[in-house]
Amino acid sequence: MDGLCHMTFLCPSQAAAMHSDCILKKEEAMCLEKIERANEMMGLNESVPGCPGMWDNITCWRPAVVGQVVEVGCPELFQIVNEGGFDLADNEALESSDTGVVSRNCTEDGWSEPFPHYFDACGYDDYLEGGGNQDYYYLSVKALYTVGYSTSLVSLTTAMVILCRFRKLHCTRNFIHMNLFVSFILRAISVFIKDWILYAEQDNNHCFTSTVECKAVMVFFHYCVMSNYFWLFIEGLYLFTLLVETFFPERRYFYWYSIIGWGTPTICVTVWAVLRIHFDDNGCWDMNDNTALWWVIKGPVVGSIMINFVLFIGIIVILVQKLQSPDIGGNESSIYLRLARSTLLLIPLFGIHYTVFAFSPENVSKRERLVFELGLGSFQGFVVAVLYCFLNGEVQSEIKRKWRSWKVNRYFAVDFKHRHPSLASSGVNGGTQLSILSKSSSQIRMSSINAENLAT
């Protein structure tokens, strides 16, 4: 379940993000490869006394001669990285973890038991005791963001139907909102597709999955998430421009907004995919061990968050100046109330909450980051749809107008049915009946006018 962290660009380190079974499989494969190379260098075989290298299902032990003590650091499974492993060039050298070292003695009877035990050196006992709680925690986070994205998907789809249905709501501002809604919808869909492809089965078969379909899903996922961040940036840029410039060509600006919102993620994700193919074509591309390649995507996202935060501060300053203007009535408390309301409305639209962990070290507050960015972040689309569609005054007025119009048409249709049952029984619907009435009345009116003209 640790793969959950890849829903966001601001997730913890790769060691914490990889499924524990995948860590063991990866370490085992690397261990067997190292052992094979070490045996060749040391010339160990069945006739030469010594202890062969082995994988004890927790960590890797290099080959050793009788009487030699081998030390290893605590394995990556305990989130203690041991990049050095054993040094093939110098059998005595070992880069171990700073927080725990486990030793084995090579005897004539083979390897001794590890000392100190994993329980004492690495907190393995705590790991076993906390394993159930950890699994429950990740399942809870997954359930939370599943509900969040599902709620957002339904509300955003409804909001899109409303904004597309009513022509009077078609303007540059709402077009930008609609593009943001689409990016949220695509993000939710991509999350569900990725979960279905990678983590549908409760096993570790996905650890070494490397198919074109799987990689295409990851490319689509990163594109959707990155587009969502950039349309949040576009919202901030548009509102800031609207406040700063009195007159500006909105339609021309919208053209460039579209290029930035959809085009920039396309370029970044394409470059990232090409680099992955040539330099890090491992697995399903769901892990990002190569930090330099990952910054091709993460860099622009963090940059957009930072710029949006600056725009947010600038907009708040402008709002303060406008609210304190003598032209705007109200006492001081009402001014601050309006400012607080405006600020709360802008936070979900700009994605300002992402700045909480955007620039903090990745190993800080990992659990809190998962809950904040995955759990609460999944409801962001729902909040945006409610604030900028369902609670929008223009949208509510248009819906009320359409509702009144429908009730009036329905009233006349029912009234016509009672007054002219012969026409109603002929299969003519209400709308047709109203048109017949209007045509008949106009014809009668024209006939009376002609008659009056002839009489005169």
Three-state SS string over 251-275 comes to: HHHHHHHHHHHHHHHHHHHHHHHHH
* Residue 240 · residue 311 · CB < 8 Å: yes
Number of domains in the chain: 2
CA distance 31 to 4: 27
Domain CATH code at residue 32: 4.10.1240.10
**Of all helices (H) and strands (E), which one includes residue 10?**
none
448 within some domain = no
222 within some domain = yes
Same domain? For 389 and 260 the reply is: yes
Local structure of residue 105 (DSSP, 8 states): E
| Non-local CB neighbours of 274 within 8 Å, separated by 6+ positions | none
Same domain? For 283 and 367 the reply is: yes
* Span 114-169, pLDDT tens digits: 887 777 767 654 444 444 566 677 788 888 899 999 999 999 999 999 999 888 88
455 within some domain = no
- Residue 387: φ, ψ to 5°: -70, -40
Same domain? For 123 and 137 the reply is: no
Whose CA is closest to 169, among 397, 349, 408?
397
Same domain? For 147 and 111 the reply is: no
67 within some domain = yes
Whose CA is closest to 66, among 99, 112, 125, 28?
112
Sheet containing 101-107: give its strands across. 69-73, 101-107, 110-111
Same domain? For 124 and 177 the reply is: no
Query: Which residue type sits at 369?
Result: R
CA distance 117 to 110: 18
pTM of the entire predicted model: 0.70
Pairing of β 101-107 and β 69-73: antiparallel
416 within some domain = no
Tell which of 382, 400, 418 closes a domain.
400
Domain CATH code at residue 299: 1.20.1070.10
* Residue 69 · residue 105 · CB < 8 Å: yes
pLDDT reported for residue 456: 45
Token pair 């408390």 is at which residue? 333
Same domain? For 166 and 106 the reply is: no
Same domain? For 230 and 318 the reply is: yes
Tell which of 349, 379, 400 closes a domain.
400
Q: Would you state the torsion angle of the CA atoms of residues 31, 36, 38, 41, taken in this order, to the nearest 10 degrees?
A: -170
Alpha helices, DSSP H only, in 166-263?
A: 172-199, 212-244, 250-258
Tell which of 106, 128, 150 closes a domain.
128
* Residue 174 · residue 163 · CB < 8 Å: yes
Same domain? For 197 and 239 the reply is: yes
Q: Give the pLDDT means over successive 10-residue stretches in the chain (456 positions).
A: 43 42 72 78 64 81 84 65 38 44 84 78 54 68 90 95 88 91 95 83 59 89 95 90 77 88 95 92 79 89 91 86 67 63 77 73 66 82 90 86 80 62 50 45 48 46
Same domain? For 124 and 153 the reply is: no
420 within some domain = no
pLDDT reported for residue 99: 53
Same domain? For 58 and 141 the reply is: no
CA angle, corner 99, sides to 105 and 117, nearest 5?
A: 40
CA distance 434 to 406: 13
Whose CA is closest to 228, among 168, 171, 166, 305?
305
Same domain? For 179 and 204 the reply is: yes
pLDDT reported for residue 66: 82
Domain that includes residue 238, residue range: 131-325+332-400
CA angle, corner 116, sides to 113 and 122, nearest 5?
A: 115
CA distance 333 to 337: 6
5 within some domain = no
Same domain? For 105 and 187 the reply is: no
What distance lies between CA 7 and its chain's CA centroid? 5
pLDDT reported for residue 434: 42
7 within some domain = no
